[in-house]
Structure formats: C-alpha cells, structure tokens
C-alpha cells in the first residue's frame, strides 16, 4: 500500500516571549511622539473648529516658506497638519493676509519672550504663567483662553466665542495695542484715565520682552506638541490643565475690560454730545438764527484730507442731482481712496452704509456699491498688513495712488456746481502750480520771511556786528546776544555781505608794524588780543599727534600792505630753534650715558624740558647762548619722535605774557 504524500514541514512561529524586545528608550520615544501628536491634534481642534468658514494655514518648513492652506475639517486628517510647527490664529480665503481674512478667530494675543536679562530667566514656565495670571486678575483683564510655552517664551491667546466677520479687525488691532500698554483713547477726553489704564496694562508684562511685531491678522504661532528648533524644547500647554477646559470670550466683554472706557460710557458720552448740539440748534431756531445743515464728517489731513472734504461736499447735494451727474460710483470710489490714503481707514461695508443714503437709488443698490468699493478695501487691508508691490526693483504701496489731475478728469464737475459748493481742488480748470509755487505759498501761510527781507536783515546784521566788534573787544557770542540772533546767523551775514562789498576797510589777520604784530579785531578770531612780539615764522602743526578739530572756513581777507620788519636772531622761528636744542640735548645725553640704562619716555621728556629751558634763556637775552645749529638737522624726524611718545612741542614754546596767548 503506497504511503500518502508527505506534507511540507512548516516551522511554527516563535512565542512572543522568545522574540527580541525593543529597548526602553525606543518605547519611551514612541510614547512621547504619540503624546505629542495627540496634543497637536487637540490644539488644532480647539483653535479651529471643524466645518468652520475659511482656511487655516499650517507651516511645515522652519524657514517659513509658503504655507499649506487646509480646510478646518482636514486639519485632523492631513499629514501636513501632523507635521506642522506653526498654525495661523485666524482663517483666510486664498492666502494668509489681512486682505483675504475670512473670519476673526482670536481676539487678543501676546508673545512674551524671556531673554537672558529678564528677572524670569531660568524660572520654570508654569511659575511664569502663574505670575501672568495673577497680574491679569489684579488689572481686571479676563484670563486668556490658553497659555502656551513656545520653547523660549509664553504665548497668551484669547479666543472668540463665535467667529466674527473681517470688519472687526480694526477694533481687534486697537484692542491688542491697548492690552500691550499703548495709550488708546476711545470716546472721551479724560487723558489721565487713558494714561492710568495704559500703565496698568503695561505692568502685566513687566520684566518680559513683549514682541510688538506680532499684532497683524496674518500671525502664526507654534503648535503644541511641536519642537522649537532654536531651543530644543517641546511646545506644551501651561494653562489650563487640558484643552477641554479652554474658555472663550466675547469681543465686547474684552473691550470693556481692556479699553479705558466701556462701550456704555462711550455711547452715553455721544448721546450727551448730540443732545447739547440739538439744544444749541433749537435755541438758534428760536432766536431766528440760521442753522447749518448736518454734514458728513470731514478730516483735514494734508492734501487728500482736503480732497476728501470737497468730495463729501459734492456727495451732500442729494441723490437726484448726483444721478444726473452720472458719477455716483466714481465719487464714492475716490472718497474711499482718499480715506485710505489719509489713514482714516474703513471697509466696504462701512463705506456703503455711510454713502448709501446719498447715492443709492435710480438703479444703484447698496450691494452693488459695496462690491464696487471692495477693491479699495482689499488694497487697504494689504497696506495695513505691511505688504508691498514690487515694480522694476522698487517697493510701492498697494493702495490706489491716483494723481489729483486724474480725480478731476474722472469727475469732470461742472463749473457752476464748483462755484456753488466753493470747490477749489476739484475744479477741472484749476491752475496747476509747480512745486516751487506750492512751497512759496506754504511759507507765506506759515508767516515765513520773504527772501528779499531776509537778505536785507542779514546786511544789517553784518553792519552792526562790524560796528560792535570795532568799538569793543566782545567775543562773537556776546555780539550775537546783543543782536538777538545766533552766532551762526552772524557768520552767515558776514559771509553774505563781506566788508569789500560795502566799502569798509578790511583788517588783515595780523597787522605788522615796526617788528610788532597785532591780532586783527575780527569776529571769527573769538576776541581781539593785545599786541605781542611777532614771530618771524608761522608755527606748523605738529606731526601725527592728536588730530585737531576741523575749523570753520575763514572768509577771504585782503592782503595787508607789507611793511619793513626788523630781523631778529631767530631766523628759523622758535619752533625750529626748540627742535634744534632738543636734538642737541638728546645727542649730549646719548654721548654721556656710559652704559647707563634710561627709559625712552623719561629721556625724551628730560630732553624737551632742557631744550625749553635753553630757549627761554635765549629769548630773554635776545641772542644765541647755547651751541647747535639754528635749525634742526631733521625736523620731520624730530616731530615724529616726539609725537610717538605723546609730547606736544608747542607747549614748550616761549610766551612773553599770558595775555598774548589765545586759549
């Protein structure tokens, strides 16, 4: 009987107890990564709720390259979100920027850096968070939704209870600045209260380096569970204990706590102001006085503030007349552009609501007007976010920047309407002034002195300064004080009106007569010195010693008539004789050393002092008493040697009297 076929032998699997187990460090690392991923997903769900409007931007690259825009329902599933290191606070449409803001999700935030010079440096992060919470409680600020340790500092974020529209971003930015300690005044004139609130808010962040550059609506911050590559620390939640305990806030509640005035106080102030205005108008009507009609608010902010005021004047003529002009949309467009350029700001919704009563009707709806002004609002958001447009290598603002001639040609207002409203800038036939003419008009408005009158004043200042300096020995500062002007004005007057031009005798800098040199009485000399013996040689400046301050350039002076001068024995001047005696003393000391050791600096000082003594003796006798040539063998070398050891030879020259030396 044949045997049945043999079944192939199968090796049974080894029991799990006999397999190699991974080491403990690998297990701990895997557990840490799983915990970090869970913390990251919990942070993303808390910050951006699923099925919310707009896209969240996640940053994966540490160099902040282009981010990945994900719908909120994709945050938990997408691999890019799992590897994200940063996440946007707000939600946007196409790109991350204030111009594409979809919903406002975070109402306030603050980035507190702990630098090495901070008193909190080295303190555990949870203790710093406790100090911040205590300070906020003392200042009456609601606690943040969460406090995050970013690896080098703390992030405090206040989340909104419900997503808000993009038009509240201006209020949110103002709220953030006030939270950081900026004096933001809203609704009243009590400046002391504003300053006190700003000081209380700034005290919250005392001892920390608050980053003031993170107040834009495109801001991103680190995700919990990621690793800060700069410090190697893990980003984690400090407060509250878990993401389920995060509390959200209302914008009005936060604004009442952070701003110096609550919304109720601001509303009451405006109602009282309107009541006072209505009472004044009623009294004027009762007395039979004319009452000015209500008008749109105007802003006087430079050229475009004046353009806006005239455009608002045209808007106030009524919808019927504006419809006949067929310029309603262009008029509203240029008003919005003017407000964007003057810094007043706004958005398409607020502009449409304000201009609607004046232009809506006869085929133009408020929705159409809002859509028409959307491009201006979009460019204004980009400008507020700090974005620029590059053209031929230069950066330009994204705002519309039409010239005034463009506005005139677009509107082309009739002359009779311009005369009726008193328009000057928007007239089609307005004269175009050059930059010089505009500058002259501005100077005239400011009360500046005309150039002809100013030149006449300078001529009078020059004449009076010469008379005073010729009659007295007053220094230039005293002369300027007597003339009630600055010393620079006197200099400028003397330069513009020299003595040669007015026919006055011009004293030379030095007048030499019979061997006596007298310093000229000149305003630029500081003051006039008494007569002193004239040196036959002008002293040259010392070689590479300390660099002297640069003197003011002197006015050109007429050459004095040369007069015969009595020659003296100092043929080469006192400086040359001093250097010759210095070389003689130095050579004598070198020949008498006999092996003795002398320090170089002490030797040089003794040589120059001995040379000074010999020169003073010769000046007193009036003749040569000591050996040596009348001039040094190598004058530049001697000056360089003295400069090397810090000796100024001019200090050792003889001076006949203290009054003759200018200090």
Between residues 290 and 513, the one the model is more confident about: 290
What pLDDT shows up at residue 580?
Answer: 87
**Helix or strand run (H / E) with residue 462:** helix 451-471
Compute the distance between CA of residue 537 and CA of residue 559 in angstroms, rounded to an integer.
17
Most confident of 22-36, 267-281, 388-402: 267-281
Task: Please state the rounded mean pLDDT for residues 73-81.
Answer: 88
High-pLDDT (> 90) share of the chain, %: 26
Most confident of 97-101, 586-590, 637-641: 637-641
What pLDDT shows up at residue 444?
Answer: 80
| Contacts (Cβ under 8 Å, ≥6 apart) of 296 | 312, 315, 316, 354
Closest CA to 330 of 423, 416, 420, 407: 407
Q: Burial of 281 by CB count in 10 Å (0-12 exposed, 13-18 middle, 19+ buried)?
A: middle
Compute the distance between CA of residue 83 and CA of residue 62 in angstroms, rounded to an integer.
11
Length of the chain: 663
- Here the tokens at position 382 are 């980009």
- Here the tokens at position 489 are 């004005």
- Here the tokens at position 317 are 């003529």
Lowest mean pLDDT among 68-77, 416-425, 544-553, 619-628: 544-553
CA 153 to chain CA centroid, nearest Å = 26
Closest CA to 639 of 583, 572, 573: 583
What pLDDT shows up at residue 525?
Answer: 34
Buried/exposed code over 545-575 (b: 16+ C-beta within 10 A; e: otherwise): beeeeeeeeeeebeeeeeeeeeeeebebbbb
- SS3 annotation, 286-310: HCCCCCCCCCCCCCCCHHHHHHHHH
Q: Calculate the alpha carbon distances from 181 to 99, 169, 359, 415 in Å.
A: 27, 19, 42, 51
Q: Calculate the alpha carbon distances from 514 to 111, 298, 533, 564, 566 in Å.
A: 82, 80, 10, 7, 7
What pLDDT shows up at residue 178?
Answer: 93
Answer left, alpha or beta for residue 394, where phi above 0 means left and psi between -120 and 50 means alpha: beta
Between residues 654 and 271, the one the model is more confident about: 271
What average pLDDT does the structure give for the chain?
Answer: 79
Strands lying side by side in the sheet with 532-533 = 510-513, 516-519, 532-533
Compute the distance between CA of residue 397 and CA of residue 56 in angstroms, rounded to an integer.
27
What pLDDT shows up at residue 22?
Answer: 59
What pLDDT shows up at residue 206?
Answer: 93
Split at pLDDT 50, 70, 90, the class of 344 is confident
Sign of CA dihedral 137, 142, 145, 148: negative
What pLDDT shows up at residue 334?
Answer: 92
Compute the distance between CA of residue 564 and CA of residue 512 in angstroms, rounded to an integer.
9
Residue whose entry in the numeric block shows the structure tokens 């501005």 = 442
What pLDDT shows up at residue 8?
Answer: 59
Query: What does the angle CA 45 – CA 51 – CA 56 come to, to the nearest 5 degrees?
Result: 60
Task: Please state the rounded mean pLDDT for residues 268-291.
Answer: 88
Task: Please state the rounded mean pLDDT for residues 100-110.
Answer: 92
Closest CA to 102 of 167, 157, 170, 171: 167
Q: Calculate the alpha carbon distances from 343 to 176, 300, 310, 314 in Å.
A: 19, 11, 17, 21
Domains of the chain: 33-263 (3.90.920), 302-432 (no CATH), 452-533 (no CATH), 573-660 (no CATH)
Buried/exposed code over 448-473 (b: 16+ C-beta within 10 A; e: otherwise): eeeeeeeeeebeebbeebbeebeeee
Compute the distance between CA of residue 469 and CA of residue 74 in angstroms, rounded to an integer.
88
pLDDT tens-place string over residues 170-221: 889 889 999 999 887 655 567 888 989 999 999 999 999 999 889 888 899 9
Given a cut of 50, is residue 534 above it in pLDDT? no
Lowest mean pLDDT among 393-397, 431-435, 524-528: 524-528
pTM of the predicted protein model: 0.49
pLDDT tens-place string over residues 423-481: 888 988 877 777 788 788 877 877 777 777 777 888 888 888 888 888 877 888 888 88
Lowest mean pLDDT among 49-53, 148-152, 385-389: 385-389
Task: Please state the rounded mean pLDDT for residues 13-28.
Answer: 63
The radius of gyration of the chain's CA atoms, rounded to the nearest angstrom, is 42
Split at pLDDT 50, 70, 90, the class of 7 is low
Given a cut of 80, is residue 351 above it in pLDDT? yes
CA 102 to chain CA centroid, nearest Å = 32
Split at pLDDT 50, 70, 90, the class of 157 is very high
Compute the distance between CA of residue 446 and CA of residue 444 in angstroms, rounded to an integer.
5
What pLDDT shows up at residue 550?
Answer: 40
Split at pLDDT 50, 70, 90, the class of 1 is low
Most confident of 324-328, 524-528, 541-545: 324-328
What pLDDT shows up at residue 536?
Answer: 42
Compute the distance between CA of residue 371 and CA of residue 374 in angstroms, rounded to an integer.
5
**Ordered alpha helix ranges (H), 592-631:** 600-621
Other Cβ atoms closer than 10 A to 203: 13
Other Cβ atoms closer than 10 A to 319: 17
Most confident of 43-47, 183-187, 271-275: 43-47
pLDDT tens-place string over residues 614-644: 888 888 777 788 877 778 888 888 888 888 8
By DSSP bridging, strand 236-239 and strand 153-164 are unpaired
What pLDDT shows up at residue 85?
Answer: 92
């Amino acid at each position: 009987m044949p045997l049945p076929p043999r079944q192939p032998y199968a090796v049974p699997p080894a029991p799990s107890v006999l397999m190699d187990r991974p080491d403990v460090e690998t297990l701990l690392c895997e557990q840490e990564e799983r915990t970090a991923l869970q913390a990251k997903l919990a942070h993303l769900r808390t910050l951006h709720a699923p099925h919310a409007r707009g896209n969240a931007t996640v940053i994966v690259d540490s160099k902040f390259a282009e981010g990945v825009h994900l719908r909120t329902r994709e945050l938990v599933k997408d691999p890019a979100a799992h590897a994200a290191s940063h996440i946007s606070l707000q939600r946007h449409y196409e790109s991350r920027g204030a111009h594409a803001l979809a919903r406002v999700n975070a109402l306030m935030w603050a980035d507190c850096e702990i630098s090495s010079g901070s008193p909190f440096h080295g303190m555990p992060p949870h203790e710093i968070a406790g100090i911040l919470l205590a300070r906020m409680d003392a200042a009456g600020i609601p606690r943040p939704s969460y406090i995050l340790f970013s690896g080098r500092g703390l992030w405090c974020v206040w989340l909104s209870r419900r997503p808000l529209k993009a038009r509240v971003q201006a209020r949110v930015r103002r709220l953030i600045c006030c939270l950081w300690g900026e004096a933001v005044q809203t609704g009243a004139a009590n400046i002391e209260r504003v300053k006190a609130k700003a000081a209380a808010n700034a005290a919250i962040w005392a001892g920390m380096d608050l980053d003031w550059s993170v107040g834009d609506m495109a801001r991103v911050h680190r995700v919990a569970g990621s690793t800060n590559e700069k410090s190697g620390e893990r980003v984690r939640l400090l407060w509250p204990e878990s993401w389920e305990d995060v509390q959200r806030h209302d914008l009005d509640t936060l604004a009442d706590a952070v701003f110096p005035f609550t919304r109720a106080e601001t509303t009451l102030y405006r109602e009282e102001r309107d009541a006072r205005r209505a009472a004044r108008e009623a009294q004027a009507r009762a007395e039979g006085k004319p009452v000015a009609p209500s008008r749109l608010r105007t802003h006087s902010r430079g050229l475009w503030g004046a353009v806006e005021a005239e455009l608002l004047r045209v808007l106030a003529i009524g919808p019927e007349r504006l419809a006949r002009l067929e310029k309603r949309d262009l008029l509203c467009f240029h008003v919005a552009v003017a407000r964007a350029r003057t810094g007043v700001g706004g958005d398409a919704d607020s502009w449409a609501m304000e201009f609607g009563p004046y232009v809506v009707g006869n085929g133009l709806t408020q929705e159409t007007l809002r859509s028409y002004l959307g491009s201006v609002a979009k460019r204004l958001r980009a400008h507020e976010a700090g974005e620029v447009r590059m053209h031929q290598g230069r950066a330009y603002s994204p705002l519309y920047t039409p010239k005034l001639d463009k506005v005139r040609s677009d509107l082309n207002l009739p002359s009779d309407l311009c005369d009726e409203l008193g328009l000057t800038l928007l007239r089609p036939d307005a004269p175009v002034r050059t930059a010089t003419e505009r500058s002259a008009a501005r100077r005239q408005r400011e009360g500046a002195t005309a150039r002809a009158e100013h030149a006449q004043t300078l001529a009078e200042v020059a004449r009076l300064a010469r008379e005073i300096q010729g009659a007295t020995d007053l220094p230039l500062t005293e002369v300027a004080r007597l003339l009630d002007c600055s010393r620079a004005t006197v200099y400028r007057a003397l330069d513009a009106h020299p003595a040669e031009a007015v026919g006055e005798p011009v004293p030379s800098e030095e007048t030499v007569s019979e061997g006596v040199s007298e310093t000229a009485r000149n305003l630029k000399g500081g003051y006039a010195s008494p007569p002193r013996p004239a040196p036959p040689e002008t002293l040259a400046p010392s070689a590479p010693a300390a660099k002297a301050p640069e003197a003011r350039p002197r006015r050109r002076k007429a050459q004095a008539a040369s007069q015969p001068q009595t020659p003296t024995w100092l043929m080469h001047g006192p400086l040359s004789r001093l250097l010759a005696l210095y070389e003689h003393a130095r050579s004598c000391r070198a020949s008498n050393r006999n092996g003795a050791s002398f320090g170089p600096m002490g030797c040089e000082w003794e040589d120059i002092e001995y040379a000074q003594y010999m020169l003073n003796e010769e000046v007193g006798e009036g003749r040569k008493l000591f050996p040596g040539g009348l001039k040094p063998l190598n004058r530049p070398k001697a000056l360089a040697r003295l400069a090397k050891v810090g000796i100024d030879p001019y200090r050792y020259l003889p001076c006949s009297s203290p009054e003759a030396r200018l200090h």
